[in-house]
């Protein structure tokens, strides 16, 4: 994974807590902050809503094609786009 340098501003007390944690755990600020950002994003990113989801068997041969069409339409894509 390619990393990119950035600058963040933290409250002095929060940075002290990070520093103490880094020393105790023998790790780096980069890994602690990256893990914290990733955890925050995982809990705050919007999950896609799937208004239609069909699983199972059907006597209709086009069900999977129709389901894909519906999913594309709901996602705002046109046939042939990826």
pLDDT per position as a tens digit, 65-77: 666 777 777 777 6
Q: What is the pLDDT of residues 4-52, one digit of tens each?
A: 999 999 999 999 999 999 999 999 999 999 999 999 998 888 776 666 6
Annotate 38-62 with b (16+ C-beta within 10 A) or e (fewer). Answer: eeeeeeeeeeeeeeeeeeeeeeeee
Chain CA centroid to CA 71, Å: 20
pLDDT over 70 (residue 64): no
pLDDT of residue 60: 60
């Amino acid at each position: 994974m390619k990393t990119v340098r950035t600058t963040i501003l933290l409250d002095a007390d929060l940075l002290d807590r990070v520093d103490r944690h880094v020393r105790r755990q023998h790790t780096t600020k980069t890994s602690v902050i990256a893990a914290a950002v990733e955890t925050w994003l995982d809990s705050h990113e919007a999950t896609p809503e799937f208004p239609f989801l069909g699983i199972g068997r059907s006597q209709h041969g086009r069900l999977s094609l129709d389901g894909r069409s519906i999913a594309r339409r709901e996602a705002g894509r046109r046939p042939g786009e990826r």
